[in-house]
């Protein structure tokens, strides 16, 4: 059975814009999300969102993305929030709480 291709929604575009702002203007906070896979996934998702749609060639990545999001829904600390952001995922606590945790970290580093 073919993997259905997700849509690039406005909310995904806005989350990418927010992530890119954190990546560019707060690299110390961005690094708290840690690993190489998160950065690679962010770069892949950025290309997809900028392209405006998922393609058949993205199917393996989509499976990885969905699996990662399913395993990481309960992030609450800064490391988890930034990791979620790199995967353009919003944890169960919601986008507002995610932004609040990230803003608190930004304020601490200023």
Encode pLDDT of 50-74 as tens digits: 999 999 999 999 999 999 999 999 9
**What is the tens place of the pLDDT at every residue in 6-20?**
999 999 999 999 999
> What is the extent of the structural domain holding 76?
10-109
Q: So what's the pLDDT on residue 4? A: 81
Task: Tell me the three state secondary structure of residue 93.
Answer: coil
- Taking 90 as the threshold, does the pLDDT of residue 79 lie above it? yes
Report how far residue 23's alpha carbon sits from residue 66's, in angstroms, rounded to the nearest whole number: 22
pLDDT at 51: 96
Angstrom distance (rounded) from CA 10 to CA 3: 22
Nearest Cα residue to 21 out of 96, 102, 101, 107: 102
Instruction: Classify residue 15: in a domain, yes or no.
Output: yes
Instruction: Report how far Cα 65 is from the mean position of its chain's Cα atoms.
Output: 10
pLDDT score of 44 more than 70: yes
Residue 4 domain-assigned (yes or no): no
Count the domains in the chain: 1
- Spatial distance between the Cα atoms of 53 and 74, rounded to a whole number of angstroms: 28
Question: Is 1 among the domain residues?
Answer: no
């Amino acid at each position: 059975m073919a993997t259905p291709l997700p849509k690039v929604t406005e909310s995904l575009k806005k989350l990418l814009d927010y992530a890119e702002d954190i990546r560019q203007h707060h690299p110390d906070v961005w690094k708290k999300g840690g690993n190489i896979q998160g950065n690679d996934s962010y770069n892949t998702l950025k290309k997809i969102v900028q392209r405006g749609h998922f393609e058949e060639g993205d199917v393996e990545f989509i499976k990885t993305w969905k699996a990662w999001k399913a395993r990481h829904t309960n992030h609450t600390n800064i490391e988890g929030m930034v990791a979620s952001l790199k995967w353009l995922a919003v944890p169960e606590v919601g986008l507002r709480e995610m932004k609040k945790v990230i803003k608190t970290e930004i304020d601490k580093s200023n």
